[in-house]
Amino acid sequence: MVNASLFPDREQPRPGPVVTPDGQQECLIDKIIDEKRVGRGRRYLVRWVYIHSIC
């Protein structure tokens, strides 16, 4: 990994989309804001990372 402070004018490439084996694209979660118990499971309120080409 290159130290970005040594080359401030170079833009780092963005990571590509995550594609599951069945061809579905997945988005990234920035952070979990809240959690709620529903039956035996849980539901989460999340803040998504917005990547223009994916989400």
Measured from the Cβ of residue 5, the count of other Cβ atoms closer than 10 Å reads 6
Strand ranges in the chain using DSSP code E only, listed in sequence order? 18-19, 25-26, 29-38, 41-48
47, 29 contact by CB (below 8 A): yes
Three-class SS state of 31: strand
The answer to whether the pTM exceeds 0.75 is no
* pLDDT at residue 53 greater than cutoff 60: no
- What would the pLDDT profile of 8-41 be if each residue is shown by its tens digit? 777 766 666 677 888 887 778 889 999 999 999 9
Largest CA distance in the chain: 52
Q: How far apart are CA 9 and CA 15, in angstroms?
A: 19
